[in-house]
Amino acid sequence: MTRRRQILTGAVAGAAALGGAGFAWWHRQADAGDPLAAMWLMRFERPEGGELAMASLRGKPLLINFWATWCAPCLREMPEIDRFYRDFSKRQGQVIGVAIDGPKPVREFLGRVKIGFPIGLGGLDGTDLVHQLGNLQGALPFTVMISPKGTIAQRKMGETSYDELQSWSRKL
């Protein structure tokens, strides 16, 4: 390799590294101003196929429930959340579940228990999102209400109920 080519290759590599570092800095700055910024970019695989794109949920009230098949309180509250979903969707509200669990147990559970609202397979991205939304312990269930303006209106670690969710929705 000629000296000129070495210098050019080094310059291109340096510019790429600098660009990557700049993007990482910009991404962190955007997240610092809006803790939900990264959430709207996320996509989760759906148990039945396809994906759940968080960006498609922006601009309307949104309830996110983080759960797992091995979590007894999560399973107890699921019918309450499904009931809330049926009422909330009539008022343009949205409800999703993010399973912090493996795809196989989630698919098996959803084969036995019919849930009307969309479920995303969270994996590690779901765990990161739980922390980003304020649940630093990572305990489940964890439920968050996002206002139409994109701010966190309510959040709760632990089992919730239809009445509690209705109360949250009336405050939006």
- The pLDDT assigned to 34 comes to 80
- Check whether residue 152 and residue 77 sit in a common domain: yes
Query: Helix 72-89 crosses helix 162-170 at what angle (to 10 degrees)?
Result: 40
pTM of the model: 0.81
Residue 104 has pLDDT above 80, yes or no: yes
Domain tally, the chain:
2
- Check whether residue 133 and residue 55 sit in a common domain: yes
- Read off the DSSP letter of residue 54: G
- The pLDDT assigned to 4 comes to 54
- Check whether residue 25 and residue 104 sit in a common domain: no
